[in-house]
Amino acid sequence: EKESRLKPKYVPVKALAFIDSLNFAKKGKWHKEEGLTGISVEAKFKHDKAIYSVEFDTSGNVEDIEIEAKWKDLESDLRDAIFSQINTDCVKHKIVKVQKQYTGSESQLLSVLKADLKSQTLTIKYELIVRCRHQKKVDLFEYLFNEKGKLISISQIVFKNSSHLEY
């Protein structure tokens, strides 16, 4: 996954309209995300002390909303299931970031952003960035779990080699 800043004039009109309809004081920043499966556009902003990320396809259709969460705020059953999986994969680990991911219809996702309503028809997943030590090597991984803590996918985060000398 490669992420780069994007000027609002290059953002799909539909995506701009979706974010503008929220009427938040701060507009946030736009990013272009290039992954193995395609390209997406992402709006990142802070609202009510939470960090949000709204992902759109290249036509401006909303795909998902991610809200940064704290590990300790997750339910204990969910934490136990996730912890069990990570302990299986890693000798030692550190959870770097936790995000709660919502997917559903555009109107349902809009309601999550506007009033923090929890629709029963929304799909909720948890995305974690984990620093994992295994086989005498340390790597970063992105884990995706369902709302019960069942593993959906694991992706290794690969960093692009820098052409700059670092001291």
Report the Cα–Cα distance between both ends of the chain, in Å, rounded: 26
CB 30 within 8 A of CB 39: no
Indicate if the pLDDT at residue 1 is higher than 80: no
Comparing 166 with 108, the larger pLDDT belongs to: 108
Backbone angles phi, psi at 130, to 5 degrees: -125, 130
For residue range 51-109, list pLDDT tens digits in order: 999 999 999 999 999 999 999 999 999 999 999 999 999 999 999 999 999 998 888 88
CB 67 within 8 A of CB 99: yes
Comparing 37 with 144, the larger pLDDT belongs to: 144
User: Please, which pLDDT band fits residue 27 given cuts at 50, 70 and 90?
Assistant: confident
